[in-house]
Chains A and B, each alone.
Chain A
């Protein structure tokens, strides 16, 4: 049992390592960007862990449903290991060696169950591009031991056929929506419903976690702030009563004034000359 569990975990680690390589390949890293922001999301039910990065304990007794970070990690390769709380790094229950962290990215490492219920670590690159004024970004990640799902907002499917370990995302109007997760193509509610408060200028990342079989499906949420944009402008007047700067009539008046001064002066001068 112990051995088979270890094998399972090791296999999971190999998959995660491949996924990391994928992240590195797909993330263009500008030469100047040295560090990445890395968050860790715990989505394995009933399994608190210690998290080691390069052999150094980074998180103590990290609990399911918690989100840690962001850590600022320099671009490079990292060994990440999860142990049962208090156990040495040598007896890790889940590990990824030589995980590549690209520079200048925002990454979430999700420790979760795969579709078959095996623990694994999946790195996700977070879209931290700016959202338009008035908008919020919703990202949903399927990280649960469950089949394909649809995500509904106000009863209408917004993301369809999402499978583990994929994500779906959209920029939507900021505000509160009632959301739930159903088995793909059905009305069978798997998670929720819950009120999602999508704050303007943020990304709300919702992870579906747990296991359908064990009836402990749940969600973990991570929020990234500071993605807001300013409005395009502030139009606040069309009357013209407060206009500064001079108008066309001003030039006409000033021009006429100058002409009259000149004309009058010349006439005075010629008149005087004439009288002499």
Chain B
């Protein structure tokens, strides 16, 4: 075998190796994909009153000042399938950005305190957590995109009661397109909505392009 031939073979081998690595990386970088999107959107549909009930029994209530309702905030979330056991904080809105105030500590997650609590018989209980952080590494929801239909999770409320949920959908949306009104709805079937970041990462802006949304219903 000539030297020249050897060089050619080596180049071929290196080329194959490079392409193999590239292919592997590309395969691993596929988005998680959506499952159950239709079911998730059905849950958000609220019953519309028919025109027929325009009349009669008009509801009458005492015009008392509104009292604080007995909302049950989730305090702990356990998702065995992806090894999550996280403390849940009640959070609101970042005044400056008008965005969801995800707890800064990446091992903690945040419940949207303006929406329904675990006691609610309608609407979406929203919990969001970091996928990761540049300073702190992997977050509580790093593996959220691995969840699939049928996976179970347990949310424990401040009342000490553990409530089981079953995943029905996992969706990925560009942050510019995500229908947030649907996930922050206070009507429709009772459901638990978990949100984190995902998709391609823009290293310059230090931002993910997408949101990963997992929808679960009471099991």
Contacts and interface: CB of A to CB of B under 8 A. Distances in A.
Interface of A: 35, 41-42, 58-59, 62, 65-69, 71-74, 132-134, 174, 176, 194-202, 204, 206-207, 219-223, 225-226, 228-247, 250, 253-254, 256-265, 267-268, 271, 275
Given A67-B62, A257-B22, A260-B12, 4 more contacts: A66-B60, A73-B54, A234-B196, A242-B201
| A35, A74, A220, A234: most-surrounded residue (chain B CB, <10 A) | A234
A58 B4 CA distance: 100
Interface of B: 2, 4-5, 7-19, 21-22, 25-26, 29-32, 51, 54, 58-69, 92-93, 95, 97-100, 102, 112, 114, 128-134, 136-139, 141-142, 145, 175, 180-181, 183-184, 186-187, 195-201, 203, 206-209, 211
Given A230-B184, A267-B4, A245 B29 contact: yes
A271 B5 contact: yes
A200 B4 CA distance: 76
Contacts of A200: 114
A223 B66 contact: yes
Contact of A271 (B8, B136, B207): B8
Contact of B196 (A74, A134, A236): A236
Contacts of B114: 133-134, 174, 200-201, 228
Interface centre among A74, A226, A230 (most CB of B within 10 A): A230
Contacts of B7: 264, 267
Contact of A222 (B63, B183, B209): B63
- Looking at chain A's contact residues, the main secondary structure is mixed
Contacts of B92: 134
Contacts of A232: 97-99
B60 A219 contact: no
Contacts of B22: 250, 253-254, 257
Contacts of B184: 228, 230-231
Contacts of B209: 245
Contacts of B67: 197
A72 B54 contact: yes
A240 B206 contact: yes
A254 B93 contact: no
B65 A237 contact: no
B196 A66 contact: no
B195 A236 contact: yes
A231 B132 CA distance: 21
Q: List 9 tightest A-B contacts by C-beta distance, closest first.
A: A243-B201, A257-B18, A239-B132, A264-B11, A260-B15, A245-B200, A220-B63, A261-B15, A264-B12
